[in-house]
Amino acid sequence: MVRPSRKLAVAAVMGMAISFGAAACGNGDRGAAPDWFLRYNGPDWFPRYSGEVNGDDALLDGTLEVQGRCLYVTAGPGQRTLPIFPRDSSFSPGTGRLVVLGKTFHVGQQFRSGGSGDGPEYMNLMNLITQPDPSCSTTHVWIVGAVD
pLDDT per residue rounded down to tens, the chain (148 residues): 444 444 434 344 344 333 334 344 333 344 444 454 445 566 777 777 666 655 455 789 999 999 999 999 999 888 999 999 998 899 999 999 999 999 999 999 999 998 888 888 777 778 888 889 999 998 999 989 888 7
Same domain, 49 and 25: no
Asked whether residue 27 falls in the same domain as residue 44, the answer is: no
Burial grade of 127 (CB within 10 A; 0-12, 13-18, 19 or more): exposed
- Are residue 25 and residue 43 in the same domain, yes or no? no
Number of residues that make up the chain: 148
Separation of alpha carbons 140 and 34, rounded Å: 31
CA distances from 97 to 1, 3, 58 (A): 54, 53, 24
Asked whether residue 59 falls in the same domain as residue 26, the answer is no
Let me know whether 73 and 96 are in one domain: yes
Residues 131, 65, single domain; the answer is: yes
Rounded Cα distance, 59 and 61, in Å: 6
> What residues make up the domain containing 15?
4-32
53 HSE (CA, 13 A, CB side): 19
24 & 96 share domain:
no
